[in-house]
Amino acid sequence: MRLISLRYDGQLHRVWQRMEPGSLPGSYRIPAGAAVQERDGTTWSSDYPVVALFWPKVFYQVFVLLKPDVTDYYANVITPAIFGSDLVVFIDLDLDVRIENDAVSLVDVDEFTRRSHLYPQSWRNEAVAAAKQLVAMAKRGIGPFRPALAAALRAEFVHESSSSSRTVVS
């Protein structure tokens, strides 16, 4: 499966080349080292596994960054995702919320300010509301930022990784 991020004008923004559905509805596992291609053709990858969380009709998505010693988060304010059989597509609305070492910050406000006049008014309203909601949830450690959810996702990824790397001897 692939995860495709578009810009407001339909142009490609970023493509995660490999992900698999997780056990929770709307969750997708992205293994460490999975290629992410930028619009300009450059690629990068994370050194750790990531779980992408989506909800229908919601103007945000959350990446749970399963780093070796800590769980951090990166949340994108987006249009509601469209789910296909082998891909998930969304329009990135620039605003992001980063949670690193329990510090919550709203980022890319300058990008949103620069481009938001090109968005429909309803997107602008939803984007601002989604950013506020994400910051509030992150600061309180609720919703997708619950420590218990992160622990469950980490356990699922570790279990899946160890299951797929086992060698069967007959």
Q: 150-167 pLDDT, tens per residue?
A: 999 999 887 665 554 433
- Which pLDDT value is given to residue 157? 83
Residues with Cβ within 8 Å of 140's Cβ and at least 6 positions away in sequence, in order, are: none
Q: Which fold has domain 2-162?
A: FomD barrel-like fold (2.40.380)
Percent of the chain with pLDDT over 70: 93
> What DSSP element (H or E) covers 156?
helix 147-164
- The pTM (predicted TM-score) of the whole model is 0.92
CA distance 94 to 121: 15
pLDDT in tens, 28-47: 999 999 999 999 999 999 99
Contact criterion met (CB below 8 Å) for 131 and 77: yes
Provide the β-strand partners of residue 4.
Answer: 15, 89
CA–CA distance, 25 with 54 (Å, rounded to integer): 8
| Cβ-based neighbour number of residue 161 at 10 Å | 13
